[in-house]
Chain A
């Protein structure tokens, strides 16, 4: 077994510190929003997790294409890592959004395009893991996973566009028309610091978890290989 790379250990520590600083900036440093009050502070982490989750899903779709062309199982492990981390991050996004929506929209949930797309996307990638679980052969599991991640990755944006045919109430925070009425707001300089630091922090955390998960996948793969040699 290879030892844990030093860079990864450092990144682990950096991400914990980044999370701590980001929490301080969001909860203490940033000024309280005038209309919504303290609940608006959820927004920093909401965007942070959402952006990294979407990044992971897009990466996963790219990895599927590369895997289907090269048929190298390495890309499959990258894909699983990206989707697994993103699935958790996206779930956090949805929960945080709900917490914010309760006072802001007076409801936990509404069938608006972004919320619906988020729910559908989450279900697509849950289905992805259910598909993988039902297959024993690693090669076939990788192929089917790649195909489904590709189909899901194309379908999710179309879902978003399709629901856009209806009216939306999700605030377009930056530069959206009619944003004030929907719960959008303008950021002060301090808010901006907290916002961009949250984006940065969650990107670091994402990369860290992603890297750890890839390493786990590699180790799992090695264990499987060793088991095969023992039984043979």
Chain B
């Protein structure tokens, strides 16, 4: 009883003192608000300029074109390499997007502005992850039908879409953390893929295996193992990035 009334008194005092008392009482609400503010800012800026999205999309289409010549994608080869071609495309296009999305923040001191905001810094990380993930998924959603049409393969299978979602989450979770580091170095233009690729190999491996499993119609039990691995990787690296992001952005 006493506790409860104390809490009530505290609450009313807060309401008097701070205009934004509701937010200070429920930290989870401010956190979500901060995350969505970062996401909204990124999406809006991208919606107006469309420079990141168009670069990623055109780049992905070019990679698919290059694979066409590099691998002679005839009907027989297509069956075995489609998953690999798709994930190589997403991985390369992904670094382009990740690099750009952090470089924008660094260029005009926007990151410092974000860091000054009185919110938990992991909110900035999650905001960035969600917006990067959004860009990547939009590009993937356009690449899939284009690939389906060009190579006469049906890629719209719910299982494959799930794999693409899980793989992209893991890729972006690590990529956002590492791009926050790479843009603060002297060699910022070239460093991200070098840092990122050796670390995301488990994602690419499991994603390629699960994707080709769905495309060739293997048993569910065979695809379940790589999917579980993707989920485990996603959880582990989101947790790690959440814990260490503070030390990446502090000044």
Contact = CB atoms under 8 A, between A and B. Distances in A.
Interface string A41-68: 0000000000000000000000000001
Q: Which of B174, B184, B187, B202 has the most CB of A within 10 A?
A: B202
A161 B195 contact: no
B181 interface: yes
B240 A146 contact: no
Q: Which of A143, A147, A154 has the most CB of B within 10 A?
A: A147
Given A120-B201, A131-B195, A151 B247 contact: no
Interface stretch (A99-107, A122-130, A183-191, A209-217): A122-130
Contacts of A140: 184
A131 B198 contact: no
A162 B229 contact: yes
Interface in A116-172: 120, 123-124, 127, 130-131, 133-136, 140, 143-144, 146-148, 150-152, 154-155, 158-159, 161-163, 165
B225 interface: yes
A127 B174 contact: no
Contact of B233 (A134, A135, A158): A158
A135 B184 contact: yes
Contacts of A152: 198-199
A110 to B, nearest CB: 16
B202 to A, nearest CB: 4
Nearest to A166: B209
B236 A154 contact: yes
Contacts, number: 89
Q: Which of A127, A162, A163 has the most CB of B within 10 A?
A: A162
A134 B187 contact: yes
Nearest to A151: B199
A161 B199 CA distance: 14
B237 interface: yes
Nearest to A122: B198
Interface in B174-209: 174, 177-178, 181-182, 184-188, 191, 194-195, 198-202, 205-206, 209
A188 B72 CA distance: 53
Contacts of A154: 236-237, 240
A151 B184 contact: no
Contact-size category for A: 20 to 34
A68 B226 contact: no
B198 A134 contact: no
B186 A135 contact: yes
Q: Which of B186, B198, B237 has the most CB of A within 10 A?
A: B198
Contacts of A124: 198-199
A138 to B, nearest CB: 14
A158 B202 contact: yes
A150 B202 contact: no
B115 interface: no
Contacts of B194: 127, 130
Given A143-B247, A147-B248, A165-B209, A155 B202 contact: yes
Contact of B195 (A68, A127, A143, A158): A127
Given A147-B247, A151-B174, A151-B177, A165 B225 contact: yes
B111 to A, nearest CB: 14
Contacts of A144: 181, 184-185, 248
B205 A162 contact: yes
A13 to B, nearest CB: 38
Contacts of A136: 186
Nearest to B222: A165
B25 interface: no
29 contacts: A120-B198, A127-B194, A127-B195, A130-B191, A130-B194, A131-B182, A134-B185, A134-B187, A134-B188, A134-B191, A146-B247, A147-B177, A148-B195, A151-B177, A151-B240, A151-B244, A154-B237, A155-B199, A155-B201, A158-B202, A158-B229, A158-B233, A161-B202, A162-B205, A162-B206, A165-B206, A165-B225, A165-B226, A165-B229
Given A134-B185, A147-B181, A155-B201, 20 more contacts: A130-B187, A133-B187, A134-B191, A135-B184, A136-B186, A140-B184, A144-B181, A144-B248, A147-B247, A148-B195, A151-B174, A151-B237, A151-B240, A152-B199, A154-B240, A155-B199, A158-B202, A158-B229, A158-B233, A161-B229
Closest 4 CB pairs of A and B: A134-B185, A134-B187, A162-B202, A123-B198
